Amino acid sequence: MKSFFGGLVLENLRISMQSVRSHMMRTTLTVLIIAFGIMALVGILTSIDAIKYYLNDNFQMMGANTFTIRNRTMQVNVGNNRSKPKHFREITYEEALRFKESYTFPATPSVFIYATNLATVKFANNKTNPNVPIIGCDENYIITSGNEIIKGRNISPTEVFYGASVTLVGNDVIKKVFKNNEDPVGKYINIGPGRYLVVGVLKEKGSSMGFNPDNVCLIPINNARQRFARPNASYSINVHVSDGEKLEAAIDEATGIFRIVRQTDVGDEDSFDISKSDNLANMLFDSLSYLRFAAIIIGLITLLGAAIGLMNIMLVSVTERTREIGIRKAIGATRNTIRNQFLAEAVVIAQIGGLLGIILGIAIGNALALSIGTSFIIPWNWIIWGVGLCLVVALASGIIPAVKAAKLDPIDALRYE
């Protein structure tokens, strides 16, 4: 029985391929329409997956299992859905220090401030453009920011306390001012109005989304308060939790302590914002849902057109092969046999188009992935969806012509000219 069924399937496929070859032009156009729909669907969705991997990889450099306390909220606006982010009273240095001393949860807190984003760094006759961010921080900032030191040492607690003129320098700054491959550790550089001793070099991270984390200098926070003082400065606090499963508990503990530090009354909303390191990535993921929805709509509309085209080809095929159908029925072919033959032909055409569309979609999606530095992606979920959609298109567009062919009267079919 199994061998009979298998032979019947193979025979239907053989006849289907013969029909495809005999109507190559019409079949090619239909295959291309189906391929375009699947390519749009798989290609855009693969690109979205590539962007998600890219965002995950790059937001990890902000410090995994880390959250930040600041006086303003983060926000991503898409289209016309715009609203102003919340701003709260500035976080003073005393409040930040009080929190750091009071926070006893097993985690690493760090106080920092963006002293300026427009500094010029100079060594000998070489200098950068006035676009180097200077971060005033404590000795724990290296841990909470996801940075690593590849040469030299970290800023010491004593240097933080006394505001020593020492600095950790990003790799991009090193390339711009130490052009003769000098060892930067132990050298003095000018940062804005001050002269600083380079005590360490930060490991290169690579730029992402227009942000270059290697174009930065870290200085002791008390030095930043002296050299880059400004009124109403607001400080931020990073907290790194070594155990990711305790991140939410750490955030709850930090919220309670900082409400006490800020003297927030019971029942009042928090006068600060706490955001996890992956919050912005998740906000961007939500924004990508619009693109995902558009891709699905484009793919479905194109596949609808492909289904209509495939149905037209199959109806024309039934008309052209009327005598063939009459001969098959005359020698014993049943209605089911004729119907299954034409359904198999529709499935073959749709799956050829689907296979071509999947290959092109993966190629387009991974072209984007490679251009942004993400590894090659094989979107198995979208491949399965593509094959399934092609099968649905084939059955939906092939059933009417197949039933029409099966219902033909063999005598009328034999007399058809």
DSSP 327-387: HHHHTT--HHHHHHHHHHHHHHHHHHHHHHHHHHHHHHHHHHHHHTTPPP---HHHHHHHH
Contacts of 398 (CB under 8 A, 6+ apart): 310, 311, 314, 342, 343, 345, 346, 347
244 near 65, Cβ under 8 Å?
Answer: yes
For the segment 246-300, what is each residue's pLDDT rounded down to a tens digit?
A: 888 999 999 999 999 998 888 888 888 888 766 555 666 666 677 777 777 877 7
For the segment 77-114, what is each residue's pLDDT rounded down to a tens digit?
A: 544 455 556 778 899 999 999 999 999 999 999 999 99
pLDDT of residue 155: 96
Q: Per the structure block, which two tokens stand in for 97? A: 């220090």
Extended beta strands in 153-260, E state: 166-169, 188-191, 194-202, 217-220, 236-240
Q: What is the mean pLDDT of residues 34-41?
A: 81
Sorting pLDDT into bands at 50, 70 and 90, what band is 19? low
- pLDDT(63) > 60: no
**Region of poorest pLDDT, from 122-131, 150-159, 206-215:** 206-215
109 near 237, Cβ under 8 Å?
Answer: yes
63 near 146, Cβ under 8 Å?
Answer: yes
For the segment 339-391, what is each residue's pLDDT rounded down to a tens digit?
A: 777 788 788 888 888 888 888 888 888 887 787 767 777 778 878 887 887 88
- Predicted TM-score (pTM) of the model is 0.62
